[in-house]
Amino acid sequence: MQEPQPMFPHFHPVSKKDWLAKLKEDLKDKSYNELQWHTYEGFNVEPYYTRSEVSQLDYLQQLHNTLVTSTSTQGSAREWVNNQYIRVKNEKNANAVALEALNNGAEGLYFDVSKLQDIKLGILLKDIKLNYCSVSFLAGSQADQLLSAYIRYAKEQGVQAEELNGIFNFDPIGEIAESGLIDSDHFSSFASVTSKTGRMPHFYGITINTDSFHDSGASAVQEIAFGLNLAVSNLDHLTDGGMSAADAIDNLCFSVSIGTSYFMEIAKLRAIRWLFAKIANSYGLTDYQPGQLYIHARPDTWSASILDPHVNMLRYTTQAMSAIIGGCNALSIPPFDSSFAEPSAFSRRISRNISSILKEEAYFDKVADAAAGSYYIETLTDRLITASWALFLQVEEKGGFSRAFEKGFIQEELRRVRKDKLQDINTRKQKLVGVNAYANAEEKLPKSSTSTGSADQEKLLSPQRRGAAYENLRVRTEAYIAAGHERPLAILLQFGDAAMGRARSAFASDFLRCAGFATQEAHAQPQSSQLNQLLQQRPSIIVCCSSDADYEAQVPELADYVRKFFNGLLLVAGRPDSMKEVKHAAIDGFIHLKSDALDVLTEIQDKLFGEE
Per-residue pLDDT tens for 73-114?
Answer: 677 899 999 999 999 999 999 999 999 999 999 999 999 998
- Which H or E run contains 168? strand 166-169
pLDDT confidence of residue 454: 44
CA distances 254 to 171, 201, 351, Å, are 11, 16, 21
Indicate the pLDDT class of residue 211, thresholds 50, 70 and 90: very high
Sign of CA dihedral 92, 97, 100, 101: negative
Distance of CA 430 to the CA centre of its chain: 13
Average pLDDT of the residues of the chain: 90
Residue with more model confidence, 201 or 460: 201
Q: Give the C-alpha separation, 343 to 94, whole Å.
A: 12
* Residues 233 and 190: beta-carbon distance below 8 Å: no
Residue with more model confidence, 448 or 503: 503
Q: Per-residue pLDDT tens for 517-575?
A: 999 999 887 667 788 888 888 999 999 999 999 998 888 888 888 888 888 999 999 99
Indicate the pLDDT class of residue 184, thresholds 50, 70 and 90: low
Helix (H, G, I), strand (E, B) or coil at 183: coil
* Residues 16 and 53: beta-carbon distance below 8 Å: yes
Residue with more model confidence, 392 or 581: 392
pLDDT confidence of residue 117: 84
Listed residue (526, 267, 296) closest to 371, CA to CA = 267
Q: How many CB atoms lie within 10 A of CB 499?
A: 9
Q: Per-residue pLDDT tens for 282-336?
A: 999 999 999 999 999 999 999 999 999 999 999 999 999 999 999 999 999 999 9
Determine if the pTM surpasses 0.85.
yes
CA distances 351 to 138, 314, 341, 356, 464, Å, are 19, 11, 15, 9, 21
Residue % of the chain over a pLDDT of 70: 94
Q: Per-residue pLDDT tens for 386-438?
A: 999 999 999 999 999 999 999 999 999 999 999 999 999 999 999 999 999 99
User: What are the structural domains, with CATH classification, of the chain?
Assistant: 16-42 (no CATH), 61-390 (3.20.20.240), 486-609 (3.40.50.280)
pLDDT confidence of residue 582: 86
Q: Give the C-alpha separation, 296 to 294, whole Å.
A: 7
Find the mean pLDDT for residues 122-141. 93
Residue with more model confidence, 188 or 137: 137
Sign of CA dihedral 127, 132, 138, 143: positive
